[in-house]
Amino acid sequence: MQKSIKNYLAAYNLIAFAFWAAYLLSYITSGLQMNSLNLLLLNIAQGMAVLEVLHALLKWVKSPVVSNAAQVSSRILV
């Protein structure tokens, strides 16, 4: 795997972690109430999961495409 792809995947994971952490912190500090900021952070974090299917399609990760797509779509639909 090319170094640029590894760097991209590392950055992708770091950004995804940052959005999940920001969502968790915001949710806790809002008294476990969903507000517009929490919803925005959650939508971004969940929306980034769509890229996981693309990563599998491009063979950048060793995940099976179909099961990855099923998992991501179930997370987004719920």
Q: Is the pTM of this model over 0.95?
A: no
pLDDT in tens, 7-60: 999 999 999 999 999 999 999 999 999 999 999 999 999 999 999 999 999 999
pLDDT band, very low/low/confident/very high, at 66 (cuts 50, 70, 90): very high
- Cα separation, 14 vs 36, whole angstroms: 23
Residues 6+ apart with CB under 8 A from 57: 65
